[in-house]
Structure 1
Protein backbone atom coordinates (compact mmCIF):
# COMPACT_ATOMS: atom_id res chain seq x y z
CA UNK A 1 0.00 0.00 0.00
CA UNK A 2 2.81 2.46 0.82
CA UNK A 3 4.56 1.92 -2.51
CA UNK A 4 1.25 2.59 -4.28
CA UNK A 5 0.91 5.86 -2.33
CA UNK A 6 4.41 6.93 -3.39
CA UNK A 7 3.62 6.07 -7.01
CA UNK A 8 0.32 8.01 -6.83
CA UNK A 9 2.12 10.97 -5.23
CA UNK A 10 4.77 11.24 -7.95
CA UNK A 11 2.26 10.63 -10.75
CA UNK A 12 0.33 13.64 -9.43
CA UNK A 13 3.56 15.65 -9.17
CA UNK A 14 4.48 14.85 -12.78
CA UNK A 15 1.10 16.35 -13.75
CA UNK A 16 1.60 19.32 -11.36
CA UNK A 17 -1.53 18.33 -9.43
CA UNK A 18 -0.88 19.73 -5.97
CA UNK A 19 -4.32 18.80 -4.64
CA UNK A 20 -3.80 15.12 -5.52
CA UNK A 21 -0.37 15.28 -3.89
CA UNK A 22 -1.88 16.75 -0.72
CA UNK A 23 -4.42 13.90 -0.61
CA UNK A 24 -1.54 11.43 -0.19
CA UNK A 25 -0.68 12.87 3.27
CA UNK A 26 -2.12 12.03 6.66
CA UNK A 27 -3.74 14.90 8.58
CA UNK A 28 -0.78 15.06 11.00
CA UNK A 29 1.93 14.60 8.36
CA UNK A 30 5.31 16.30 8.43
CA UNK A 31 7.64 17.31 5.61
CA UNK A 32 11.27 18.40 5.83
CA UNK A 33 13.86 19.35 3.23
CA UNK A 34 16.54 22.01 2.78
CA UNK A 35 13.98 24.79 2.29
CA UNK A 36 10.91 23.77 4.31
CA UNK A 37 9.97 22.25 7.65
CA UNK A 38 6.20 21.81 7.63
CA UNK A 39 3.59 20.20 9.87
CA UNK A 40 0.11 19.06 8.97
CA UNK A 41 -1.53 18.07 5.69
CA UNK A 42 -2.72 21.62 5.01
CA UNK A 43 0.73 23.17 5.38
CA UNK A 44 2.54 20.38 3.48
CA UNK A 45 -0.12 20.36 0.78
CA UNK A 46 0.05 24.14 0.56
CA UNK A 47 3.74 23.89 -0.30
CA UNK A 48 3.11 21.37 -3.09
CA UNK A 49 0.16 23.36 -4.45
CA UNK A 50 2.29 26.52 -4.45
CA UNK A 51 5.20 24.82 -6.21
CA UNK A 52 2.88 23.27 -8.80
CA UNK A 53 1.03 26.54 -9.42
CA UNK A 54 4.29 28.50 -9.82
CA UNK A 55 5.65 25.90 -12.23
CA UNK A 56 2.44 25.96 -14.27
CA UNK A 57 2.59 29.76 -14.42
CA UNK A 58 6.29 30.28 -15.09
CA UNK A 59 7.97 27.09 -16.13
CA UNK A 60 5.71 24.44 -17.56
CA UNK A 61 7.76 24.58 -20.76
CA UNK A 62 10.80 23.01 -19.06
CA UNK A 63 9.10 20.98 -16.29
CA UNK A 64 10.06 17.32 -16.17
CA UNK A 65 10.02 14.80 -13.33
CA UNK A 66 11.92 11.51 -13.31
CA UNK A 67 11.24 9.03 -10.51
CA UNK A 68 13.17 5.83 -9.84
CA UNK A 69 14.04 3.31 -7.17
CA UNK A 70 10.60 3.39 -5.52
CA UNK A 71 10.36 1.08 -2.52
CA UNK A 72 7.85 0.85 0.33
CA UNK A 73 9.57 3.74 2.12
CA UNK A 74 11.75 5.65 -0.33
CA UNK A 75 12.22 6.99 -3.83
CA UNK A 76 14.75 8.88 -5.89
CA UNK A 77 13.45 11.73 -7.98
CA UNK A 78 14.90 14.34 -10.27
CA UNK A 79 13.13 17.56 -11.09
CA UNK A 80 13.95 19.73 -14.10
CA UNK A 81 12.37 23.15 -13.70
CA UNK A 82 12.75 26.91 -13.93
CA UNK A 83 13.39 28.50 -10.51
CA UNK A 84 10.71 31.19 -10.38
CA UNK A 85 12.72 33.78 -8.42
CA UNK A 86 15.57 33.93 -10.94
CA UNK A 87 14.30 32.20 -14.07
CA UNK A 88 17.36 29.92 -13.97
CA UNK A 89 17.07 26.28 -15.00
CA UNK A 90 17.55 23.69 -12.26
CA UNK A 91 18.09 19.94 -12.32
CA UNK A 92 17.69 18.84 -8.71
CA UNK A 93 18.41 15.27 -7.58
CA UNK A 94 16.50 14.25 -4.47
CA UNK A 95 16.32 11.18 -2.25
CA UNK A 96 13.02 10.87 -0.40
CA UNK A 97 12.24 8.83 2.71
CA UNK A 98 8.69 8.17 3.90
CA UNK A 99 6.74 6.64 6.76
CA UNK A 100 3.03 5.88 6.57
CA UNK A 101 0.02 5.67 8.83
CA UNK A 102 -2.28 2.63 9.10
CA UNK A 103 -4.34 3.91 6.14
CA UNK A 104 -1.28 4.06 3.87
CA UNK A 105 -1.10 7.86 3.89
CA UNK A 106 2.25 9.65 4.20
CA UNK A 107 3.02 10.42 7.83
CA UNK A 108 6.61 11.69 7.45
CA UNK A 109 8.38 12.77 4.28
CA UNK A 110 12.03 13.80 4.23
CA UNK A 111 13.69 14.97 1.01
CA UNK A 112 17.47 15.24 0.90
CA UNK A 113 19.46 17.00 -1.81
CA UNK A 114 22.77 18.80 -2.24
CA UNK A 115 21.87 22.35 -1.28
CA UNK A 116 25.07 23.82 -2.70
CA UNK A 117 24.48 22.15 -6.07
CA UNK A 118 20.89 23.43 -6.05
CA UNK A 119 21.97 26.97 -5.02
CA UNK A 120 24.57 27.18 -7.82
CA UNK A 121 21.89 26.37 -10.39
CA UNK A 122 18.98 28.32 -8.92
CA UNK A 123 20.83 31.41 -7.69
CA UNK A 124 23.91 31.61 -9.91
CA UNK A 125 27.00 33.37 -8.53
CA UNK A 126 25.56 34.01 -5.03
CA UNK A 127 24.73 30.30 -4.78
CA UNK A 128 28.18 29.34 -5.99
CA UNK A 129 29.89 31.60 -3.48
CA UNK A 130 27.57 31.14 -0.49
CA UNK A 131 25.69 27.88 -1.15
CA UNK A 132 27.82 26.03 1.37
CA UNK A 133 26.96 28.49 4.15
CA UNK A 134 24.30 28.33 6.80
CA UNK A 135 23.63 32.00 6.07
CA UNK A 136 22.31 31.33 2.57
CA UNK A 137 20.40 28.24 3.66
CA UNK A 138 18.69 30.27 6.42
CA UNK A 139 17.89 33.04 3.95
CA UNK A 140 16.37 30.56 1.48
CA UNK A 141 14.33 28.92 4.26
CA UNK A 142 13.04 32.30 5.46
CA UNK A 143 12.05 33.35 1.92
CA UNK A 144 10.39 29.97 1.27
CA UNK A 145 8.36 30.30 4.49
CA UNK A 146 7.35 33.86 3.54
CA UNK A 147 6.31 32.77 0.04
CA UNK A 148 4.27 29.87 1.41
CA UNK A 149 2.51 32.07 3.97
CA UNK A 150 1.60 34.59 1.26
CA UNK A 151 0.38 31.83 -1.08
CA UNK A 152 -1.74 30.19 1.61
CA UNK A 153 -3.28 33.51 2.69
CA UNK A 154 -4.39 34.16 -0.92
CA UNK A 155 -5.69 30.63 -1.49
CA UNK A 156 -7.47 30.36 1.83
Structure 2
Protein backbone atom coordinates (compact mmCIF):
# COMPACT_ATOMS: atom_id res chain seq x y z
CA UNK A 1 0.00 0.00 0.00
CA UNK A 2 1.45 3.38 -0.93
CA UNK A 3 1.26 6.59 1.13
CA UNK A 4 -1.90 7.90 -0.58
CA UNK A 5 -3.75 4.63 0.02
CA UNK A 6 -2.55 4.62 3.63
CA UNK A 7 -3.84 8.16 4.21
CA UNK A 8 -7.30 7.38 2.82
CA UNK A 9 -7.44 4.08 4.73
CA UNK A 10 -6.51 6.02 7.89
CA UNK A 11 -9.27 8.57 7.13
CA UNK A 12 -12.02 5.98 6.67
CA UNK A 13 -10.83 3.87 9.59
CA UNK A 14 -11.08 6.98 11.78
CA UNK A 15 -14.56 7.58 10.32
CA UNK A 16 -15.62 4.01 11.16
CA UNK A 17 -14.36 4.53 14.71
CA UNK A 18 -16.08 7.94 14.96
CA UNK A 19 -12.64 9.44 15.63
CA UNK A 20 -13.31 13.05 14.68
CA UNK A 21 -9.78 14.29 15.41
CA UNK A 22 -8.29 11.42 13.41
CA UNK A 23 -10.40 12.31 10.38
CA UNK A 24 -9.67 16.01 10.68
CA UNK A 25 -5.93 15.36 10.91
CA UNK A 26 -5.99 13.84 7.41
CA UNK A 27 -6.85 17.23 5.88
CA UNK A 28 -4.59 20.11 4.93
CA UNK A 29 -5.43 23.50 6.41
CA UNK A 30 -6.21 24.58 2.82
CA UNK A 31 -8.51 21.61 2.08
CA UNK A 32 -11.84 21.90 0.29
CA UNK A 33 -14.82 19.54 0.17
CA UNK A 34 -17.91 19.20 -2.02
CA UNK A 35 -20.70 16.69 -2.45
CA UNK A 36 -24.26 17.00 -3.78
CA UNK A 37 -25.45 18.49 -0.46
CA UNK A 38 -22.45 20.28 1.08
CA UNK A 39 -20.77 22.37 -1.60
CA UNK A 40 -17.50 24.28 -1.60
CA UNK A 41 -16.58 23.88 2.07
CA UNK A 42 -13.23 25.18 3.27
CA UNK A 43 -11.05 23.28 5.75
CA UNK A 44 -12.72 24.74 8.84
CA UNK A 45 -16.22 24.06 7.55
CA UNK A 46 -15.43 20.53 6.38
CA UNK A 47 -13.89 19.63 9.72
CA UNK A 48 -17.04 20.93 11.42
CA UNK A 49 -19.24 19.03 8.96
CA UNK A 50 -17.64 15.66 9.83
CA UNK A 51 -17.86 16.42 13.56
CA UNK A 52 -21.53 17.38 13.21
CA UNK A 53 -22.39 14.32 11.12
CA UNK A 54 -20.64 11.93 13.49
CA UNK A 55 -22.18 13.47 16.60
CA UNK A 56 -25.69 13.54 15.13
CA UNK A 57 -25.47 10.14 13.43
CA UNK A 58 -26.00 7.99 16.50
CA UNK A 59 -26.57 4.82 14.48
CA UNK A 60 -24.28 5.74 11.57
CA UNK A 61 -22.07 2.98 10.26
CA UNK A 62 -19.75 3.15 7.29
CA UNK A 63 -17.96 0.62 5.16
CA UNK A 64 -15.24 1.53 2.68
CA UNK A 65 -13.58 -0.32 -0.17
CA UNK A 66 -11.72 0.10 -3.43
CA UNK A 67 -9.10 2.51 -2.05
CA UNK A 68 -6.86 3.13 -5.05
CA UNK A 69 -3.91 5.45 -5.34
CA UNK A 70 -3.52 7.86 -8.20
CA UNK A 71 -0.43 9.88 -9.05
CA UNK A 72 -1.44 12.82 -6.84
CA UNK A 73 -4.33 11.42 -4.82
CA UNK A 74 -6.67 8.51 -4.39
CA UNK A 75 -10.19 7.27 -5.02
CA UNK A 76 -12.43 5.17 -2.80
CA UNK A 77 -15.95 3.88 -2.45
CA UNK A 78 -17.86 4.08 0.80
CA UNK A 79 -21.33 3.22 2.01
CA UNK A 80 -23.04 5.13 4.81
CA UNK A 81 -25.83 3.43 6.77
CA UNK A 82 -27.82 5.74 9.05
CA UNK A 83 -31.19 7.07 10.08
CA UNK A 84 -31.99 10.44 8.51
CA UNK A 85 -32.80 12.56 11.55
CA UNK A 86 -35.38 14.82 9.90
CA UNK A 87 -37.66 11.93 8.91
CA UNK A 88 -36.49 8.90 10.91
CA UNK A 89 -36.03 6.98 7.65
CA UNK A 90 -33.22 4.45 7.15
CA UNK A 91 -30.68 5.34 4.45
CA UNK A 92 -27.94 3.51 2.58
CA UNK A 93 -25.94 6.15 0.73
CA UNK A 94 -23.42 4.75 -1.76
CA UNK A 95 -20.62 7.22 -2.37
CA UNK A 96 -17.62 7.45 -4.66
CA UNK A 97 -14.84 9.71 -3.42
CA UNK A 98 -11.95 11.43 -5.15
CA UNK A 99 -9.04 12.95 -3.27
CA UNK A 100 -6.16 15.22 -4.22
CA UNK A 101 -3.28 14.79 -1.80
CA UNK A 102 -0.30 17.10 -1.22
CA UNK A 103 2.43 16.70 1.39
CA UNK A 104 0.67 13.74 2.97
CA UNK A 105 -2.65 15.57 3.55
CA UNK A 106 -5.95 15.74 1.68
CA UNK A 107 -6.15 19.06 -0.14
CA UNK A 108 -9.35 18.39 -2.12
CA UNK A 109 -12.13 15.88 -1.39
CA UNK A 110 -15.11 15.34 -3.69
CA UNK A 111 -17.89 12.86 -2.89
CA UNK A 112 -20.42 11.82 -5.52
CA UNK A 113 -23.70 10.03 -4.93
CA UNK A 114 -27.07 9.70 -6.62
CA UNK A 115 -29.07 12.52 -5.05
CA UNK A 116 -32.38 11.18 -6.36
CA UNK A 117 -31.74 7.74 -4.87
CA UNK A 118 -30.69 9.35 -1.58
CA UNK A 119 -33.74 11.65 -1.49
CA UNK A 120 -36.17 8.76 -2.10
CA UNK A 121 -34.69 6.92 0.89
CA UNK A 122 -34.35 9.89 3.23
CA UNK A 123 -37.45 11.91 2.31
CA UNK A 124 -39.87 9.21 1.15
CA UNK A 125 -42.67 10.39 -1.14
CA UNK A 126 -41.31 13.94 -1.34
CA UNK A 127 -37.96 12.60 -2.52
CA UNK A 128 -39.63 10.25 -4.98
CA UNK A 129 -41.70 13.05 -6.51
CA UNK A 130 -39.21 15.94 -6.33
CA UNK A 131 -35.77 14.38 -5.79
CA UNK A 132 -34.83 14.86 -9.41
CA UNK A 133 -35.53 18.62 -9.30
CA UNK A 134 -33.10 21.44 -8.63
CA UNK A 135 -35.78 22.88 -6.32
CA UNK A 136 -35.45 20.02 -3.83
CA UNK A 137 -31.67 19.78 -4.19
CA UNK A 138 -31.33 23.50 -3.44
CA UNK A 139 -33.74 23.25 -0.50
CA UNK A 140 -31.74 20.37 1.01
CA UNK A 141 -28.47 22.25 0.45
CA UNK A 142 -29.87 25.35 2.16
CA UNK A 143 -31.11 23.33 5.16
CA UNK A 144 -27.78 21.49 5.46
CA UNK A 145 -25.88 24.77 5.25
CA UNK A 146 -28.05 26.32 7.97
CA UNK A 147 -27.59 23.25 10.19
CA UNK A 148 -23.81 23.43 9.74
CA UNK A 149 -23.77 27.18 10.45
CA UNK A 150 -25.74 26.62 13.66
CA UNK A 151 -23.37 23.83 14.68
CA UNK A 152 -20.33 26.01 14.01
CA UNK A 153 -21.81 28.91 16.01
CA UNK A 154 -21.83 26.78 19.17
CA UNK A 155 -18.63 26.03 21.01
CA UNK A 156 -17.56 22.61 19.83
CA UNK A 157 -14.16 21.40 20.97
CA UNK A 158 -14.36 18.64 18.32
CA UNK A 159 -13.82 21.23 15.59
CA UNK A 160 -10.11 21.32 14.92
CA UNK A 161 -9.49 24.92 13.87
Are 1:65 and 2:62 counterparts?
A: yes
**Is residue 76–residue 95 contact of structure 1 (8 Å, CA) maintained in 2?**
yes
**Is residue 116–residue 132 contact of structure 1 (8 Å, CA) maintained in 2?**
yes
Q: Gaps (5+ residues) in structure 1?
A: none
What displacement does 1:38 show? 3.5
Report the TM-score, using the length of structure 1 for normalisation: 0.92
What displacement does 1:101 show? 1.2
| Residue number in structure 2 paired with 1:142 | 142
| Residue number in structure 2 paired with 1:151 | 151
Q: What SS class does the counterpart of residue 63 from structure 2 fall into?
A: strand
Q: Identify if the C-alpha distance between structure 1 residues 111 and 119 changes in structure 2 by more than 3 Å, giving closer, same or farther.
A: same
Written as runs of structure 1 = structure 2, the 5 A alignment for 1:104-119 is: 104-119=104-119
Which structure has greater strand proportion? 2
Q: Kindly tell me the number of residue pairs found equivalent between the two proteins.
A: 150
Q: Gaps (5+ residues) in structure 2?
A: 157-161
What displacement does 1:20 show? 1.6
C-alpha RMSD of the superposition? 1.1
| Residue number in structure 2 paired with 1:39 | 41
Q: What SS class does the counterpart of residue 140 from structure 2 fall into?
A: helix
Which structure has greater helix proportion? 1
Report the TM-score, using the length of structure 2 for normalisation: 0.89
1:92 and 1:39 mapped to 2: Cα distance? 20
**Is residue 64–residue 80 contact of structure 1 (8 Å, CA) maintained in 2?**
yes
| Residue number in structure 2 paired with 1:130 | 130
Are 1:8 and 2:10 counterparts?
A: yes
What displacement does 1:64 show? 2.1
